[in-house]
A and B are shown apart, each in its own frame.
Chain A
Amino acid sequence: MADLVIVAMTLGYFAINVAFAWGCGLLMKEKN
């Protein structure tokens, strides 16, 4: 069970980081 929690937690962090980068990209496009 704890193994599954860990996999979910890691993938969750990965998704947040990708979304954050996507937000940074949107800001850059807005500037241009």
Chain B
Amino acid sequence: MPAWITGEAIWTWALYGAILLLTAKPVGIQLYRVFTGQRTFLHPVLRPLETGIYYLTRVDEQEEMSWYVYLLATLAFSFIGLFLLYVIERTQQWHGSLLNPEHLPNVSQFLAWNTAASFLTNTNWQNYSGESTMSYLTQMAGLAYHNFVSAAAGIVWAVALVRGLARRSGKTIGSFWVDMVRCIVYILMPITFFYALFLVWQGVPDNLVSPTIAHTLQGGVQTIAQGPVALQEAMKMLGTNGGGFFNANSAHPFENPTPLSNFVQMLSIFLIGSALVYMFGRWIKDTKQGWVIWGAMFVLFSAGFFFAVGFEQAGNPVIAAKAGVATRKTANQPGGNMEGKEVRFGIVDSAMFATITTDASCGAIIAWHDSFTPLGGLVPLTNMATGEVIYGGVGAGLYGMLMYAILAVFIAGLMVGRTPEYLGKKIESFEVKMASIALLISPANILIFAALAVMGTWGTASILNPGPHGLTEVLYAFTSMNANNGSAFAGLTTNTNFYNITGGIVMLIGRFLFMTPLLAIAGSMAGKKTIAPGLGTFPTNGPTFGILLVAVIIIVAALTYLPAYSLGPILEQLQLHAGILH
């Protein structure tokens, strides 16, 4: 067995996979019942709240929308939310002593816009330190609010796409308002409530107290920030938002105090994404279809984890060769590459957290990805570049994966002369055009803006490390923003007008322009009649389709991004082995 496959890596992966598998079905059933309007065990308590919201907002529970109206409702709701958050940030100085005890000033214009676009799109890219920039009111009414609604929006778009695929004929794909209310009331709110209590039990603060001033033994002064952390932390992980209350994110002991809280945080990132895949199978009355996609996701997750932990455990060859430092794990030291890692978590947890947070669109971190070995850092980068379809952001993972599934059946049809069909519906030119547009939006968004950044000092002045690592920093930033991930590679100063403006645009495109053709597919598929499988039908509920799906994702990502990665992390790793440092 290679030295990098440690026992700790294997049992952590196995335990994580087993618990994730066990949660998929029960949570998936709850999701299915909620979005099909069936009664759940929470109805006696929460149904009055749901109907009360419909009454106050004059929403007709029975009225459904076409895909275009669904999209317009999404955009209108989202952009009003963006402006509200912007106003909250720009008026901080009037938030009062209770909700702004440190009297933090208004957030500057372009930073406020970038942050508003960031939280609206579920990215939570942060060009600021939360504890020293945002008032408690901004954290609670602005950022935590968007943690809820942006997560719910992602989930309901996936639900709308599933409805479109599952319906036998029709013109509507559900109601955006009803889906949003049900998602928040029956899914996000109850889980987050108990999750936040769990975090408080583990040691996460949740108060409105001013920072504590501590005097150290050396006579220094420490300002220990705190605030309404636990609830925001719970939603940050469950909703794959990722924006930390503190700058150090989940590496901060007030966000992630214990090994148990760390494991639960990792689990909660995938919880809804994994369950949505089961819900998909249940909805189309063929759970095998769901499990095939779930299996493809787990294979990709496992490959990413072992690749990352392998390179991190192997460590930096230059340090081993030139400084004579032992990089092999022993009973007394962790070995490998510990730079930029929180010692409480070590290599395995850091590699696993990095893999999970970028498989999903979470972006929370417990280690600096910038300090990973070049190929270890390639894993989070590739995960985001493929569209985060490995369980993915809540909802976003499933609708991204279904886009790949449509492409996979089309490619299979071309290769072996089968009729392109998915779930009994013919895949025609419109669906392939829409899936191709969605597929092309991401690389265009990432590569054009990254190229723009390295063309002049407006972008290059922010780069900390010269050489290929600097290019990786820029690539990572735009990949993360496009994928609505929000994790930063670090090493790139992005609180500049250039990065604030371009970053905001990239995040909006990565979220809304990408999702538009997928909702169009939902509308188109909803209107198609289901046909019985024939001899020419390529079965999509077996392992052959699972393998094809994984291959399509890997090949598409490799072909699109390999040239850029060759100049960044791949070149850097080769230079390390040649002893070249920048």
- Given A14-B75, A14-B79: A28 and B86 interface contact (C-beta under 8 Å): no
* CB atoms of A13 and B505 under 8 A apart: yes
Interface membership of chain A positions 6-18, coded 1 if the CB is closer than 8 angstroms to chain B and 0 otherwise? 1101100110011
Q: In the complex, A20→B515 CA distance in Å? A: 11
Query: Which listed residue, B75, B82, B83, B90, touches A17 by the CB 8 Å rule?
Result: B75
* CB atoms of A24 and B517 under 8 A apart: yes
* CB atoms of B72 and A24 under 8 A apart: no
- Specify which chain B residues have a CB less than 8 angstroms from the CB of A6 in the assembled complex: 86, 109-110, 113
B506 to chain A, nearest CB (A): 11
User: Of residues 485 to 517 in B, which have CB atoms within 8 Å of A's CB atoms?
Assistant: 501, 504-505, 508, 512-513, 516-517
B114 to chain A, nearest CB (A): 10
Q: In the complex, A21→B434 CA distance in Å? A: 11
A13 to chain B, nearest CB (A): 5
* CB atoms of A17 and B523 under 8 A apart: no
- Specify which chain B residues have a CB less than 8 angstroms from the CB of A7 in the assembled complex: 83
Using C-beta atoms within 8 Å of the partner chain, give the interface range for chain A: 10 to 19
A22 to chain B, nearest CB (A): 8
- Specify which chain B residues have a CB less than 8 angstroms from the CB of A21 in the assembled complex: 68, 71-72, 516, 519-520
* CB atoms of B430 and A31 under 8 A apart: yes
* CB atoms of B75 and A18 under 8 A apart: yes
| Contacts from B to A (Cβ < 8 Å) | 68, 71-72, 75, 79, 82-83, 86, 90, 109-110, 113, 428-430, 433-434, 501, 504-505, 508, 512-513, 516-517, 519-520, 523-524
- Specify which chain A residues have a CB less than 8 angstroms from the CB of B110 in the assembled complex: 2, 6
Q: In the complex, A22→B523 CA distance in Å? A: 13
Q: In the complex, A24→B518 CA distance in Å? A: 10
- Given A24-B516, A24-B520: A10 and B83 interface contact (C-beta under 8 Å): yes
Q: In the complex, A22→B434 CA distance in Å? A: 13
B552 to chain A, nearest CB (A): 23
Q: In the complex, A18→B385 CA distance in Å? A: 25
- Which residue in chain A gives the minimum CB-CB distance to B519? A21
Q: In the complex, A27→B90 CA distance in Å? A: 41
B495 to chain A, nearest CB (A): 15
- Given A17-B513, A18-B75: A27 and B508 interface contact (C-beta under 8 Å): no
- Specify which chain A residues have a CB less than 8 angstroms from the CB of B68 in the assembled complex: 21-22, 25
Query: Which listed residue, B72, B79, B429, B513, touches A20 by the CB 8 Å rule?
Result: B513
- Specify which chain A residues have a CB less than 8 angstroms from the CB of B512 in the assembled complex: 17
- Which residue in chain B gives the minimum CB-CB distance to A22? B68
- Which residue in chain B gives the minimum CB-CB distance to A29? B430
* CB atoms of A3 and B109 under 8 A apart: yes
- Which residue in chain A gives the minimum CB-CB distance to B433? A27
- Which residue in chain B gives the minimum CB-CB distance to A32? B527
